[in-house]
Structure 1
Amino acid sequence: MDDNQIQPPPSFVVLFTTPGGHRLTEPMAHVRERYELCEDMAQMLTEQAGTLQFKTGGSERDVLSAIAQALSGDEAPLDAGETGWVLSRLAELLGWEPLPPAPDR
């Protein structure tokens, strides 16, 4: 029995679900761990995104694109799906329009 109270949203769980959504590809404990990391990352980036927009005068899209680039390096702790989720969540937290999905996601 799993006593963990954290319930990742369906938008995150789908990243770890087989095509058709019938089965998880990873144990739920791993999904929760990755969700916590991604949610923390999105929350942490809200202040940085606002500061970056203020300092550069860039658009919301420019700021999200710059953050996407920073999260996509070889040493990035997130995979492409998780990065996309973090960017969508960040846009949601800021009340911004999310970036359109990248073709390789």
Structure 2
Amino acid sequence: MSLRDTDQRCPPPASFLALDPTLPIDTAIERHDLCEALARQLAEVAHTYMGRDGVLFHDVLPRCRRVAESPDIGLSETEVGWVLTRVRELIRG
């Protein structure tokens, strides 16, 4: 990724950059994009479960955590925490 590509993308929020201030900005942008996409997908699925199946908010978060912690996803522990916080924000509006 060139600097020009990085400049055209939105910078991650401070809450994400604080997770690992040593990351190069292009890596931070890529990691944030991954985490944000996952959070949006999890929030959408959680919202569906809550509306269709009557699953309560506090019951759906552990399910989201299990997905985010999956080795296949490859998130760090701090990224998982950020994703879950973002899911809460997205669900609660």
Interval of TM-score (by shorter of Structure 1 and Structure 2): 0.7 to 0.9
The CA deviation at 1:55 is 4.5
| Of 11, 23, 27, the match for 1:7 | 11
Distance in 2 separating the partners of 1:41 and 1:51: 15
Distance in 1 separating the partners of 2:20 and 2:29: 11
1:13-63 Cα deviation digits (max 9, x unpaired): 01112xxxxxxx221100000011111111122220112223443321110
| Of 27, 39, 51, the match for 1:54 | 51
More helix by share: 2
| Of 50, 60, 63, the match for 1:63 | 60
Gaps of 5+ in 1: 18-24, 97-105
Gaps of 5+ in 2: none
Secondary structure of residue in 2 paired with 1:16 = coil
1:86 alignment counterpart: 83
Cα RMSD over matched residues?
1.9
Q: Match for 1:53: what amino acid?
A: M
Q: Highest relative contact order (Cα 8 Å, sep 6+), 1 or 2?
A: 2
| Of 40, 43, 60, the match for 2:40 | 43
The total of aligned residue pairs comes to 89
* % identical aligned pairs: 34
Does structure 1 retain, via aligned residues, the 8 Å contact 2:12–2:32?
yes
